[in-house]
Amino acid sequence: MLVRIVKLTFQETHLNEFLAHFETVKWQVAQFPGCKGMRLIQDLENPCIIMTYSEWENPEALENYRQSDLFRSIWPTIKPWFSAKPEAWSLRHYFDGFQGVNS
């Protein structure tokens, strides 16, 4: 499994616009073939910093998403709202302490 974390830093004037747009596409991304799930997380100190955390079956599944019409419709919409260059990491799980934990 592949974990993908993407850090997006938005202009303050576009933060709510991004969050509203995200509401319209979140389930399409989370249910994209090969995607095991996705989270949107926000920095407590700087709310303009948003990160996506997603899990993918393999690198090919992530690349299929990145080449999809869905991604091509999302990225050009949100890109002008950034205040910094996005950063991305592709990672491997070694331990998952969330599974089986009662809340």
Residue 33: domain span: 2-92
The pLDDT score that the predictor gives to residue 37 is 95
**Which residue did the predictor score with more confidence, 102 or 90?**
90
Q: Report which of 74, 72, 58, 67 is spatially closest to residue 3, judged by C-alpha positions.
A: 58
- Domain assignment present for residue 102? The answer is no
- Domain assignment present for residue 99? The answer is no
CA distances (Å), 17 to each of 11, 21, 78, in order? 10, 6, 9
The pTM assigned to this predicted structure is 0.90
| CATH number of domain containing 17 | 3.30.70.100
- Domain assignment present for residue 70? The answer is yes
- Domain assignment present for residue 100? The answer is no
- Domain assignment present for residue 97? The answer is no
pLDDT in tens, 21-79: 999 999 999 999 999 999 999 999 999 999 999 999 999 999 999 999 999 999 999 99
- Domain assignment present for residue 28? The answer is yes
